[in-house]
Structure 1
Amino acid sequence: MRMSENSSLLMLGSQGTSMNSSSNSSVSPPSADWVAPTFTRAAQFRVVATLVLFLFAAFSNLAVLISVARGRGRRLASHLRPLIMSLAVADLMMTFIVMPLDMVWNVTVQWYAGDAMCKLLCFLKLFAMHSSAFILVVISLDRHHAILRPLDSFDAKRRNKRMLLLAWSLSLLLASPQLFIFRVIKAEGVDFTQCVTHGSFQQRWQETVYNMFQFVTLYVVPLLVMSLCYTRILIEINHQIHKSKGGESCLRRSGTDMIPKARMKTLKMTIIIVVSFVVCWTPYYLLGIWYWFHPQMIQVTPEYVNHILFVFGNLNTCCDPVIYGLYTPSFRADLAVCWFCRPQDSSPKSLDRLSARQGNPSAEQESDAPSVDQMRANEE
């Protein structure tokens, strides 16, 4: 038996040295025929791929954070800035905690950082994953309120701050058990030390219950809330379209818009961000569920499958800034300024003129992205 990797869904201690290894859960110490895990070719691919994602995610998410905090992104609506910044911070936590920890742990195979770091890093790892999911929930709830209750825009900033505080607090709370269940264990009779949950659960079903609880709070509940929000949004949009066709009056930003263009643009952006989260992480979660209920599958599943799915999940951290850039001309302008070392345009006819105006409650500021026609007019 090999005591090395936590192949469970939550990657609570995943080091990816060998998919033939058992979970780092409540297993007995290695027997006489125990073989120490090695830094396999598949694990080497995982490290290289994760390093590439780390470099891209670090640069792109830092660029988003700087743009919103100090660049043209400051012209975003005041209630949207904290959402985008929180998403960038959550992605940076995934980038600077989850990815480096996974890479180093794969290379070293064993755990050399001591018991305190074992507990702390496993806690931070799950905290980063929860915060990333919960921030997406907050963004979805904000879009839901903006579309279904557009006249309540003046309270959006305070409401979003409360939701963000709740999201970060829940992330801390749900990740805190990691500080108690993970510990450093030295295998008997061999020179091998690992950060594992061995001894924290009396029975395997107890660990399964814990993992399932984390899975529900990390993935199922956020997915249900986001699905409900966007389903109601689409129903409302469809309802407004039918009202318009039936000749009924409805709130319009212009004579041709059912919903303000900037608001629709932000809605499309957030939908794609949520879809990328679901697409990237669902395969890895499904593999984890399969393992929980059929532990023997770890003996027959090729090692590279776990590695590929983990790398694919981390791709989500790179997708968020790309999607934001595609829908936000101001971010692209900030990148151009940085790339060509040009001074920022501080004129009133800046690229980032907001689509909404103060004093008009029905035209809530939703995005810093002007329409294509406005961009072309400004450039000309």
Structure 2
Amino acid sequence: MNSSDTPPPADWATPTFTRAAQVRVGATLVLFLFAAFSNLALLVSVWRGRGRRLASHLRPLIMSLASADLMMTFVVMPLDAAWNITVQWTGGDVLCRLLSFLKLFAMQASASILVVISLDRQHAILHPLDSLSAHHRNRRMLCLAWSLSLLLASPQLFIFGAVKADGVDFTQCVTYGSFPQHWQETLYNMFHFVTLYVVPLLAMACCYSRILIHINRQHQQNKAGESYLRRSGTDMIPKARMKTLKMTIIIVVTFIVCWTPYYLLGIWYWFQPRMLAITPEYVHHGLFVFGNLNTCCDPIIYGFYTPSFRADLVACCCPASKDSGASPRSLDRLSARQHPHRAGSEQDSDPASAHHT
């Protein structure tokens, strides 16, 4: 949360590394280890493992998501932990500006790529015959997402700076002096609240609502007598409907649960800065750590949800299973992409991928 706090008054006490901050650092380190392992495993699986069997238009999406989450993992989490330990800023002005930029860039990229994945899933189900252009369309959307995230985060390089408090030996990385009026800083923060939370949430809700409506309509048509898919032996509508429903619930609920408390606290602080004096310290720390959970959940939802990633994880943890050459039955379905003659009976467990096939 951006803060342009004024220099401390005469009776101001230097902040200390409190017990609540210690718990925050411990929780952040645990999340860091889990997020680093899961996202690196996801990235390696898609790049060199069984994840390469995914369709070519899906791989850049998964790799971009893992890359954005790794930025969150290796930039935001260590920065937050170290900053809480030192209490004040000790990295100098240049590092203050750079890390503030990278922090917002990682958060913007992660949210934007979630929107791109939602748009791809929507197009895959609503227009299954247009799969040939999916690769180029996704590359354009990813370039736009990364470029837009870079543009939106660039003001951080000029707004933040290392400011030394008057009369005490204390330096902090803040936005003090960058906004002539408090309402200007509030407007800036609200703008990023919209781009980081409101727009991605509305976009994902719209995309997955259209997916459910479309699949439900096709399911109702099948029940009414249009049973071509059932006669052909490739009736994937009920399966895709259920999987898409599960993914929709997980995606939307995870995004809302992880980020809503954090941004509600931010909005409260932006309009009522004195709220920090009336709310317990552990609430502020806990809500920020809770927001970082989204970085850990993404590889579970978009990665380990697919059998190929689970198989790579098992092979990594249990080398004996890799040497034996055994693979899950569900993994064989993924190979149907490599063998079109089997596509009629074996499909990927990803609901949208089934429509592409």
The Cα of 1:246 is off from its aligned counterpart by 2.4
Distance 1:253 1:232, change over 3 A: farther
- Which residue of the partner structure matches residue 231 of structure 1? 209
- Aligned-partner SS, 2:163: strand
Picking from 17, 32, 43, the partner of 1:65 is 43
With over 3 angstroms needed to count, the CA separation of the structure-2 counterparts of 1:121 and 1:352, relative to structure 1, is: farther
Name which of structure 1's ranges 162-171 and 313-322 shifts more when overlaid on structure 2: 313-322
Q: Match for residue 351 of structure 1?
A: 331
2:201 touches 2:255 (CA, 8 Å); kept in 1? Answer: no
Q: Partner of 1:307 in structure 2?
A: 285
Q: Distance in 2 between matches of 1:359 and 1:159?
A: 23
- Structure 1 position 324, deviation (Å): 3.8
Alignment of 1:1-380 (within 5 A): 8=1, 12=2, 24-25=3-4, 27-248=5-226, 254-255=232-233, 257=235, 259=237, 261=239, 265=243, 268-269=246-247, 272-324=250-302, 326-342=304-320, 343=322, 345=325, 351-354=331-334, 355-356=336-337, 367=348
**Could you list the per-position Cα deviations for residues 200-252 of structure 1 after superposition, in whole angstroms to 9, with x for gaps in the alignment?**
00000000000001111111111111111111111112211222222246767
Write the letter of the residue equivalent to 2:213.
I
Contact 2:53 2:338 in 1 (8 A): no
- Helix, strand or coil: the match of 2:172? strand
Partner Cα distance (2:241, 2:120) in 1: 11
Aligned-residue offset at 1:83? 0.9
Q: Scaled by the length of structure 1, what TM-score is found? A: 0.83
Which segments of 5 or more consecutive residues in structure 2 lack a partner in the other structure?
352-357
Contact 2:255 2:294 in 1 (8 A): yes
Deviation of 1:259 after TM superposition, in Å, equals 2.9
Query: For residues 253 and 229 of structure 1, what CA distance do their matches in structure 2 show?
Result: 30
Gapped regions of structure 1 (runs ≥ 5): 1-7, 13-23, 371-380
**Cα 1:216/1:51, change in 2 over 3 Å:** same
AA of the residue aligned to 1:236:
H
TM-score (norm 2): 0.89
Deviates more, 1:329-338 or 1:140-149: 329-338
Judged with a 3 Å threshold, the aligned counterparts in structure 2 of structure 1 residues 369 and 145 are, in CA distance, closer, same or farther, namely closer
Name the stretch that deviates more: 269-278 or 44-53: 269-278
CA deviation digits over 1:301-327, x for unaligned, max 9?
A: 111111111111111111122234552
Counterpart contact for 2:215–2:241, Cα < 8 Å: no
Cα gap change, 1:263 to 1:78, in 2 (>3 Å): farther
Distance 1:41 1:228 in 2: 42
CA distance in 1, matches of 2:68, 2:337: 28
Distance 1:346 1:160 in 2: 33
Over the matched positions of the two proteins, sequence identity in percent amounts to 74
- Give the conservation status (yes or no) of the 8 Å contact 2:68–2:106: yes
Shift of 1:128: 0.5
Query: Aligned pairs, how many?
Result: 345
Deviation, structure 1 residue 275: 2.9
Letter of the 1:143 counterpart? R
Q: Which amino acid aligns with 2:160?
A: F
Structure 1 residues 107-155: Cα deviation after superposition (integer angstroms, max 9, x where no partner): 0011111111000000000000011101100010001101111111111
Counterpart-to-counterpart distance in 1, 2:252 and 2:62:
13
